[in-house]
Structure 1
Amino acid sequence: MLSDHMLSSATRVRRAGPVRRRLFSLGRAVATPGALDALSAAGVSALALLRRHQGGDFSELDAEDRQSNWEAIETGARLLSSYSVGSTRIWVITEAADDEGTRASTCLLLPQEY
């Protein structure tokens, strides 16, 4: 689980424009050691990526995956975002807990950790 310090570290947040509306719940936010290392090396906070993901900025996905995400917001299915952080790609995946739109958790991870 991400600590409050990791999520609130103002010195590491890179602003991605105005704060977007939250389109869905993240559930419990977690990250793999590989993702945390990549974020730290690039000086990017986990919170910045979580906010982009939750606001509908799914970043480097093709049109089909973007459409799947928009449908998932309505149906409660899994959501995926992909971001370049330095020279590393980080995925953000929000898992569904049920078909009612309840989100179990959101994980930041490297694709090879999937």
Structure 2
Amino acid sequence: MKSDLLHTPLFPLGRTFATPGALGLMQRTDTTPWVLLGRHRSGDFGCLDAYDCAANNRAVLDGTRILSAYELGPANEKVWVITEADRSSTTILLPSDY
């Protein structure tokens, strides 16, 4: 059941960070970072296409970088969540911050 999967962590996040731009967007859209981090680590990779979701599913198994993308607020502004390949850290950032 998909709802059960959304509560099962698939990988460690490591230390978590957010850029000032991402923090501002989350504040403007009343989004908490914990919601995005929870979705990301449980395999809800947001608005990625099937190819990128499949790449993330492989990354969970082979230990490469994992990227999620979420659209926030009425303007559907994008925010990314990236977990590094070594699982030492996860960062929430705007695409323009990359």
TM-score (norm 1): 0.78
Is residue 32 of structure 1 aligned with residue 19 of structure 2? yes
Q: Distance in 2 between matches of 1:36 and 1:83?
A: 14
Deviating beyond 4 angstroms after TM superposition, the runs of 4 or more aligned structure 1 residues are: none
Q: Distance in 2 between matches of 1:85 and 1:50?
A: 14
| Larger RCO (CA under 8 A, 6+ residues apart) | 2
Q: Distance in 2 between matches of 1:68 and 1:109?
A: 20
Task: Quote the residue 2:41 is aligned against.
Answer: 54
Q: State the Cα distance separating 1:85 from its structure 2 match.
A: 0.9
Matches within 5 A, 1:1-114: 20-86=7-73, 87=75, 88-97=77-86, 103-114=87-98
Aligned-residue Cα RMSD (Å) equals 1.2
Q: Distance in 2 between matches of 1:89 and 1:42?
A: 11
Instruction: Spell out, residue by residue over 1:78-112, the C-alpha distance to the aligned partner (whole angstroms, 9 max, x if none).
Output: 00000011121000000012xxxxx0110000001
Instruction: Spell out, residue by residue over 1:53-88, the C-alpha distance to the aligned partner (whole angstroms, 9 max, x if none).
Output: 001000100111000000000001000000011121
Three-state SS of the structure 1 residue aligned to 2:84 is strand
TM-score (norm 2): 0.90
Greater gyration radius: 1
Gaps of 5+ in 2: none
Q: State the Cα distance separating 1:20 from its structure 2 match.
A: 1.2
| Number of matched pairs | 93
Three-state SS of the structure 1 residue aligned to 2:81 is strand
